[in-house]
Structure 1
Amino acid sequence: MKNINKNIYIKNIELLKQYYPEYIKVLEDNKYNDEKVKVIETRDGNISLIVEKGKKITIHSKYKPIEEAKRWTKNIQIEENDCIFVFGMGLLYHVDFLLEKIRQNNKLIIIEPSIEVLKKTISVVDLENIILNNNISIVLYNDEHFKDRVSKILMETGLQRINYKYLKLQTYVNAFVEEYRDYLNVLNNAKIDILTQKNTIINSSEEWTKNDYKNLKHLKNSINISCFFNKFKNIPAILVSAGPSLDKNIEYIRNFKDKCLIIAVDTSLKALITKDINPHMVISVDGTYKNYDKIKGLDFSNIPLVYTNRVYYKILEEHKGKKIIYDFDSNIVSNLFSRIGEDIGILEEQGSVSTCALDFLIKIGANPIVFVGQDLAYTDDKKYAQNTMYDYVDYERYGDFGFESFVDGYYGGKVKTDYALRRFLEYFETRIYKEKEKIEFINATEGGANIKGCKNITLKNLKNEFENKINIGMTINNIFKIKSIINNENKDRFVKELEKMYLSIKNIENKLNQVLKQIEQLHLIYDKNDYYYKIKEIKEIIAIVDQFEEFLQNKKDEIILMNYELFKWEQEVIAITKNSNILNIDERQKGLIIAKNNKIIYEKLKDIVIDHKKKLETCLSEI
C-alpha cells in the first residue's frame, strides 16, 4: 500500500507552483480540510479513497481498483481530435488507462470538484506525467474561475475540434451531486456559445474580412485604447445601453454631462442624439451592415469613437472625428502590432458591445460605474428602447431569441429573458464580483433584471451624489495629443509585416496551383480506369495534398487576415467530407468522388486566396 509520502507531496507542489500556480493558494487554505478524505488499502494491495459526504463513499474499488479502471475504459473509443472531459480525478487509475488511448491531437480535461481529494491525491500519487503532459488540463471546481476556465477551454478547442466526449466516475457523481449539476450547466452553456460563435463566424466571415482590410487605413488616425487605461481613476462613469428601460430615464442623462464620464454603446446612440444628448464616447464592435444601417446619417463626428477593426467599414469612413482602436484577445490587429513590438489595448468581449464597454470602464479606473438601459431582460415585453438600433425588429416573426427563462427582476419578482441576455447577465455579475472590492457598481436601469453586486438607485436620486464638476472633455483631448497607433516611427515596420503576409499568400497560391494539377491527374487516372497500374503515383499525389494541408496550417500565423474565411472553408471541407457517400461503391467510383470533392475544395480555397491577394494590394496602397 502507498502511504502519504512527503517527497511525493513536495514534488507535486513544486510542479503545481510551476504549471498551476493559481491552485497553490486554495491548496494551502486551512478551510479545506482533507480529514474527511481517507486513504484505505484495497484487497489487492493498492489504495482507494473514502469521502465523507453525509455518508461514506468509496471512490475506487475496495478490492481491485486497477481492474475496475481497466473495465471503465474498455469500451471508450477515442477518435482523432476528440476533446475528452472527465469528471473526477481520484487517484488517477482511470486516467492512466485513458492515456493509453490518447493521441497527439486529443485534449483531456480533468475536472476535480474537491480540493480535499486533490490534497490527499498529491500526497500519495506522483502527478509528474499528468502535469507535464501538454494534452492534459486539471480544472478545480472550487476555483473561483472554474466557469471561466471550462468555458475558455471549450471555446478554444470547440472552434477546431469535431467532437467532445464527457466521461465521469459514477462514485464522484454520487459524492458531489451539486458540483456535478453545476458542471453540466457550465458545459451546456459553453456548448451553445461555441455553436453560436461557429455560426457567427461562418455567416459573417466575408463581411468581417472586408472590414478588416478596409479599416486598417484608419489606424493612422486612431490612438491606442491603452492610452486611456488608469486615466479616469475614481471618476464616476455612466454606461448607456439600449434596453427598453432607457425610455424611462434618458432625459436625466443630460444632467450628468459635467459630473461624470458618459459612454454609450452604439445601439443607444440614436436614442441619445435624438434627445440632444452627446455622450463623451461611443463604442462599436458589430461588423454587419445592420449595425451601420441604424446609425447611417447620424452626425456624431464630435464624439470620439471607440472601435475594433472588425466594425462595419462605412462607420469609420463616415465618422470624421477622433478614433480609439481596441482589439480582442489575440485578434488580428493586436497580433499584427505585436510583431513590431507594439501592444494594442485589449477589451473583453462576451457577445455584446456592453461587455466591452464595461471592461473599458474598469480598465480606465472609473468608479463608481452606473448602468443605464442595461435591462438584460424583456421589460414590458420589449428588448430595446425606442429609437435604438433594433427597436423595429419583430421578434415573434424572427423567433431567434427564445423566451426560455426567468430571472430576478430589478423591482423583485421574476422577469422574462432569453439565453443570450442571461449569458450577458452572468458575465456582468461575474465581472462585478471580481471587482467589487475596488469599484462600486450602481444599477440605475429602473427595470429589467436585477444585477447582483449592484446598488439599485435611480438616476434622479443619483444627481445629488455626483456634485463635483469634472472637465471630462479636457481629459480626453489631452490624451489625444499622443501619437496615432500608426505613426512615422512604426509605419514602415507595419507595412513590412503586411508585405510579408502578401508574399505568404502568393506562396500559398503557387502551391495551390500545383495541388490542383495533381488532383486533375488523380481524376484522370480513375477516369481512365488506370488506378490498378498507378498505385505508386496515386500515393504520391495523396502525399502532395497532405503536405499542402500541413503547409497551410503552418502558414496560418502569417496570414491572419485570412483566418475568418479559412475557418469557414474548413467547415465546408468537413461538411463535404462527411456527406460524401463512398461506402459500398467500387474503387473507381470512390476515386472519382474523392478527386471531384478535392477539386471543389481547393478551387474554393484558390478563390479565397486570390480575393485576399487583391484586398491586401489595395490595403497596402492606402496605408
Structure 2
Amino acid sequence: MSRYKQDSNCYQIVRSRAGLPTIKANADGREIWLHSPYDPVREAERWASGVTLDDRHVPVVVGLGLGYHVAELARRFPHRKMLVLEPVRKLYDMAISEPQVTGLLSNNDINLFVGDDASALDSFLTQNVNLYGKEELEFIEYPPLARFFREEFDQIERRMVDGLNTLSLSLNTTLALSKAWTDNFFANLPYIIDNPGVKELFGAFSGRPGVIVSAGPSLSNNIHLLKDVKGKGLIIVVGTAVKPVLQSGVIPDLVVTIDGSLPNYRHFEDLVTRDFPLAFYPSAYPIIISEHSGPLLTMNDVFFGHWLQKITGQDKGWISTGPSVANVSFDIAVQLGLNPIVFIGQDLAFTGGHTHASGTVYAKDAPDGALLEVTGINGGTVRTDRTLNAMRDWLNKRISLLPDNIEVINATEGGAKIEGTKVMTFREAIDRYFNEDFPAGEIIRKTCNNAPPLSEKKKARLIKTLIKARAKMSKISASASKGMLYAEKLKRCYEKKAINQSRVDTLLQKLDRVDEKIKKCREASRLLNLLYQPAQFRLEVSFEPADDESEKDKGRRLADKSQILYLGIKEAAEHAAEIIGAVVSKLDGRKDGLSGASTLSESIPALPGTEHSDRLPGQVDYNAL
C-alpha cells in the first residue's frame, strides 16, 4: 500500500452539498472523492440499480468506505447474505464513528472483514462461506473506491480466491479420506500414547540452522550437497523424499510423514528405518508406523487431539497444519527454533516438466491439463497447479507471521517464488550458515529414548473411556435406526391424499426424542464428526426446495433428508464401534475381543488405495452431531 494511503491524514470526512458526510482523499496534492461531494446516497442508488444477482449469488463487496453503496445493496436485496471486505484499516477506523456505518454493522446479513491479513481472512471465509458449494460468490466493486484503491482491492481479491481454493481442497480431501483418517487414528493409537510428541523438542534447536528437504524436481540438482550439512545443522526430510536422500548416503535427522493413504507406504517400503527418527501425524498410514524400527515422535491431531489430551493429559504439540507434508515440516522447524530455515526441493511447480525429483515414487512428467502460471524463483513465470499453489500460498502466509529475525532461505534453485524468503544457491547457504559441528540427530534420539510411555493408570482410564464410547455408539446406532423408521412413516403420511396432521405431529415428536437421545451421547458423538462428513455433504448439496414446492412436497423432501441424516449417523456409529473395539483389544492385550461383543478383527483396518494427496485432514469447523 502506498505510504500516503496508510496515513489517516490522507482522508478527511466532510459534508457533501446534500448535507451528508463524504470522504475526500489527498493523493500527492490531488483531491479525490471516495463518495460523491454532492449526494453520496443518490450516487449509491444509481450504482446499485445496475447490480443484478441470482438467487444463489452471495455478493462480496470490496470496499466499505462510508457504506452508502452497501446499505443501498442491502435495501435492494433484503435478507441477502453479504460479505464486505475493507482492506484499508485506517479508513475503517475513521468511518466507524459515522451513524450509517454503525447501522450497517448491526445488520446480521452483513459480514464485514477489515484489514489484509491472509490468515485472518481464511478464518473469516471458514466462518462465513458455505464450503459445500451451495453458494456462488460474486465480487462487486464500488467504482469511486476501486479507482483509488486498485492495488489494495486486487490484493484482497487474490487472497480471497487463494483462501477459497485452499479451503476447497481441504474439504475435498476430508470428504475423500474421512473414513481412512478415523481408521488410521485408532490403529495408530497405541503408538501415539507410548511415544513422545514433537513438543518435547520445541525450542531445542533455537538459533541453529536447519534444512527442509522436499521432493520437488530441482532436488535432483543439489541433493549431492546435503552431506555437507550433516552434523552441522538439522536435516528434516519429508517422507516423499526419504528414498533419494538415503540413496545419496545421508541419514536424515528427522523424517516427517502425514499422508493417510496407501501410496504413502511406498516411500518407506523395503527401507531400513532403524537409523532415522520418524515424526508421524496421528492419521498417517498405519503400516508405516508399525513397521518403523527407529525412534518415533507424534503430534496432536486436529480432529481427535483435544479428546485424547483430555483423557491422557498428554500434549504432543500443536502444529499449524497445511496442505502438504512440506508445510507441516516447516511449522515443525519453526517450533523447534531453527534459524535460518533452508528449503531445497521446494519447487511448488513443474520444473523441467516434471512433478517430483528423480528417485521418488511419484516422479513423472507434468500433467497436460489446465495449469496456473506463477512468478518463478528467478523471475519470469513457471507452471504449477491448484494443489501446489495452495501449498505455496500457505507458506507465504506462514512466513509473513514470523518474527523479523527468523530467516527463511529458498535454496531450491528452481520452481516458484516463495514470498518472504531469501534466494541463494544451496552451496551459498551451506557456506554461510552451516559452519559449526552440531549433533542434531543425537538430541532427537536422546529425547525419544528418555520419554516415558503412558502410565498404566492413564492407559486403563483410556481403555475405560473407549469401552464406554463403544457402548454409546450402540445406543446412537439404535436411536438412528428408530429415526430412519419414523422418517419413512412421515414420508408415507405426506404421500397420502389427505395429510393426517395429528399423525404427522406424533411422528415429529418421536423424531425430537430420537434427537435428544443422540445428543445425550454428545461426548461419544464427537468421535463421529469425521466419519459423518460424507453424509453431511450429501445433506448440504441435495434436497433443495423447488420454486413451486407444495406442503406435501416439502414434507416428503424433509422426510427423505431425515432418512439420509439418520442413515449417516447409524453407519458412522457402527463403524466407530468396530474400530474402537479393535483398538481396545490391542491396548488391553485381549485375544478374544470385548466381553459381551462379537469378536473384532485385530488387524489394522483395511484402507482404500486413494489417490496420493500428501495432505492433512481439512480444517473445516464442523458442528457436533
Q: Is the 1:43–1:64 Cα contact (8 Å) retained in structure 2?
A: no
Partner in structure 2 of residue 609 of structure 1:
573
SS for the counterpart of 2:406 is: coil
Q: Is the 1:158–1:194 Cα contact (8 Å) retained in structure 2?
A: no
Q: CA deviation at 1:593?
A: 6.5
Q: In structure 2, what is the Cα distance between the partners aligned to 1:367 and 1:407?
A: 26
Q: In structure 2, what is the Cα distance between the partners aligned to 1:73 and 1:557?
A: 51
- Matched pairs, number: 580
User: Tell me, which stretches of 5 or more residues in structure 1 are unaligned?
Assistant: 1-25
Partner in structure 2 of residue 573 of structure 1:
539
Partner in structure 2 of residue 23 of structure 1:
none
Q: Is the 1:84–1:109 Cα contact (8 Å) retained in structure 2?
A: yes
Partner in structure 2 of residue 350 of structure 1:
322
Partner in structure 2 of residue 620 of structure 1:
584
**Deviates further, 459-468 or 216-225:** 459-468
Residue 535 (1) aligns with residue 535 (2): no
Q: CA deviation at 1:279?
A: 0.2
The CA RMSD measured in Å over matched residues stands at 3.8
Which of 68, 75, 88 lines up with 2:63 in the alignment?
A: 88
Partner in structure 2 of residue 56 of structure 1:
32
Partner in structure 2 of residue 8 of structure 1:
none
Partner in structure 2 of residue 448 of structure 1:
415
Which of 331, 345, 348 lines up with 1:373 in the alignment?
A: 345
Q: In structure 2, what is the Cα distance between the partners aligned to 1:597 and 1:433?
A: 44
Which of 133, 150, 156 lines up with 2:121 in the alignment?
A: 150
Q: Is the 1:384–1:390 Cα contact (8 Å) retained in structure 2?
A: yes
Residue 187 (1) aligns with residue 160 (2): yes
Q: CA deviation at 1:312?
A: 1.0
Q: What code does the residue aligned with 2:285 have?
A: Y
Q: Is the 2:324–2:391 Cα contact (8 Å) retained in structure 1?
A: yes
**Quick one: higher RCO (CA 8 Å, sep 6+), 1 or 2?**
2
1:217-256 equivalences in 2 (<5 Å)? 217-256=190-229
1:157-196 equivalences in 2 (<5 Å)? 157-159=129-131, 162-163=134-135, 165-166=137-138, 167-196=140-169
Partner in structure 2 of residue 517 of structure 1:
485
Structure-2 change in CA distance of 1:536 and 1:173 (3 Å): farther
Q: Is the 2:300–2:315 Cα contact (8 Å) retained in structure 1?
A: no
SS for the counterpart of 2:283 is: coil
Q: CA deviation at 1:89?
A: 2.4
Q: Deviations over 1:378-422 (max 9, x none)?
A: 22211211121311x4543xx56x432142234x54433333333
Share of identical aligned residues, percent?
A: 23
Q: In structure 2, what is the Cα distance between the partners aligned to 1:588 and 1:443?
A: 63
**Deviates further, 152-161 or 193-202:** 152-161
Q: Deviations over 1:262-318 (max 9, x none)?
A: 110000011122333210110011111111133222221331111111111111111
SS for the counterpart of 2:358 is: coil
Q: CA deviation at 1:74?
A: 12
SS for the counterpart of 1:239 is: strand
Q: In structure 2, what is the Cα distance between the partners aligned to 1:83 and 1:486?
A: 50
SS for the counterpart of 2:532 is: helix
Q: CA deviation at 1:204?
A: 1.4
Q: Deviations over 1:432-453 (max 9, x none)?
A: 3443622233333233334442
Partner in structure 2 of residue 473 of structure 1:
441
Q: In structure 2, what is the Cα distance between the partners aligned to 1:465 and 1:127?
A: 52
Q: Is the 1:224–1:485 Cα contact (8 Å) retained in structure 2?
A: no
Q: Deviations over 1:212-238 (max 9, x none)?
A: 221112113221211111001112211
Structure-2 change in CA distance of 1:165 and 1:378 (3 Å): closer
Q: In structure 1, what is the Cα distance between the partners aligned to 2:41 and 2:548?
A: 44
SS for the counterpart of 1:310 is: coil
TM-score (ref. length: structure 2) = 0.81
Q: In structure 1, what is the Cα distance between the partners aligned to 2:480 and 2:189?
A: 27
Structure-2 change in CA distance of 1:93 and 1:436 (3 Å): same
Q: Deviations over 1:560-597 (max 9, x none)?
A: 3322221211112234414x8x6779877776666456
Q: In structure 1, what is the Cα distance between the partners aligned to 2:564 and 2:476?
A: 17
1:35-114 equivalences in 2 (<5 Å)? 35-42=9-16, 45-53=19-27, 54-59=30-35, 62-63=38-39, 65=41, 68=44, 72=48, 85-93=60-68, 109-114=83-88
Structure-2 change in CA distance of 1:259 and 1:75 (3 Å): closer
Q: In structure 2, what is the Cα distance between the partners aligned to 1:260 and 1:320?
A: 24
Q: CA deviation at 1:43?
A: 5.1
